[in-house]
């Protein structure tokens, strides 16, 4: 069994580390090289591989120093990102020694190029900012809302017990918005209580479980929310994709 660890990074990021029985490590989205290196040294671990989900600074700022210090460690990601050594596009299955097989999923939308890494045996999804617990990433200037919807639809095809290893601790704020969208959804209220208890102890709310997200995350429930979102946004919506686009734009200007 691999050990999946979320290390708080910056204000609300997580640096995800997957640790093998051989004490080797896959690091996901190295925004802070010193944080990674300190953890490796403190626990006598060896860096084996790096996965990068997308180009944003808080996910890549540590790569230049990492590349200099670990020139032989492969860095997987899209070729639009500096310091990538192993280029991926999505659709590949890669094998990492000590860890097994990962399915690479093209989850573009948050930005123009986004990748998610799914561990086939342990059902772990490292999705960066494509999906959060009870939310999803903002659509940036090079992103596309329709593509973001398609990306989330791909994720919903994974097994319901998939663990969602998102890159930010946004869960409680996201749940406030989810309650606004679905005020009578008891699953949202129950999940909020669970997450409040975790955060009171400084415990991450992540990874979350895909089946839970399908009950509480409005961006995964657009097929059920067309009427509600049309009412809130005063838009004519003809599909779940339209609903997602309107909902994501509405969130940008919403305040609790």
- Give the number of C-alpha atoms closer than 13 A to the C-alpha of residue 100, restricted to the C-beta side: 15
Mean pLDDT of the chain: 98
The fraction of the chain above a pLDDT of 90, given in percent, is 98
**Quick one: average pLDDT of 77-86?**
98
d(CA 69, CA 33): 10
What confidence tier does 150 reach under pLDDT thresholds 50, 70, 90?
A: very high
Does residue 62 register a pLDDT over 90?
yes
Class of domain 3-253: alpha beta
Per-residue pLDDT, 256 = 82
d(CA 162, CA 118): 9
Burial of 24 (0-12, 13-18, 19+ CB in 10 A): middle
Identify the helix (H) or strand (E) that includes residue 57.
helix 57-60
d(CA 6, CA 158): 21
Per-residue pLDDT, 196 = 99
Q: pLDDT per residue over 153-163, tens digit each?
A: 999 999 999 99
DSSP state at residue 231: H
Instruction: Give Dmax (Cα) for the chain.
Output: 57
Identify the helix (H) or strand (E) that includes residue 65.
helix 63-69
What is the domain partition of the chain in residue ranges? 3-253
The fraction of the chain above a pLDDT of 70, given in percent, is 100
**Quick one: average pLDDT of 116-121?**
99
Q: pTM of the full predicted structure?
A: 0.98
Q: pLDDT per residue over 160-195, tens digit each?
A: 999 999 999 999 999 999 999 999 999 999 999 999
Does residue 148 register a pLDDT over 90?
yes
């Amino acid at each position: 069994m691999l050990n999946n660890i979320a290390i708080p990074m910056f204000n609300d990021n997580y640096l995800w580390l997957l640790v093998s029985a051989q004490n080797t490590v896959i690091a996901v989205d190295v925004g802070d090289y010193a944080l990674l290196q300190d953890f490796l040294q403190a626990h006598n671990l060896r860096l084996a591989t790096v996965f990068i989900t997308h180009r944003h600074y808080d996910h890549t700022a540590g790569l230049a120093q990492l590349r200099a210090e670990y020139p032989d460690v492969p860095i997987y990601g899209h070729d639009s990102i500096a310091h990538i050594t192993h280029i991926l596009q999505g659709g590949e299955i890669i094998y990492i020694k000590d860890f097994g097989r990962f399915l690479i999923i093209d989850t573009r939308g948050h930005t123009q190029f986004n990748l998610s890494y799914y561990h086939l045996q342990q059902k772990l999804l490292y999705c960066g900012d494509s999906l959060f617990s009870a939310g999803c990433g903002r659509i940036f200037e090079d992103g596309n809302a329709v593509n973001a919807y398609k990306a989330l639809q791909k994720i919903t095809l994974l097994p319901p017990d998939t663990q969602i290893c998102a890159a930010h601790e946004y869960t409680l704020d996201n749940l406030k918005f989810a309650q606004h969208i679905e005020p009578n959804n008891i699953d949202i209220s129950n999940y909020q209580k669970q997450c409040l208890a975790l955060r009171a102890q400084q415990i991450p709310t992540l990874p979350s479980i895909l089946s839970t997200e399908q009950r509480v995350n409005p961006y995964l429930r657009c097929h059920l929310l067309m009427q509600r979102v049309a009412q809130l946004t005063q838009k004519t919506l003809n599909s779940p994709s339209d609903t997602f686009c309107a909902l994501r734009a509405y969130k940008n200007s919403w305040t609790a």
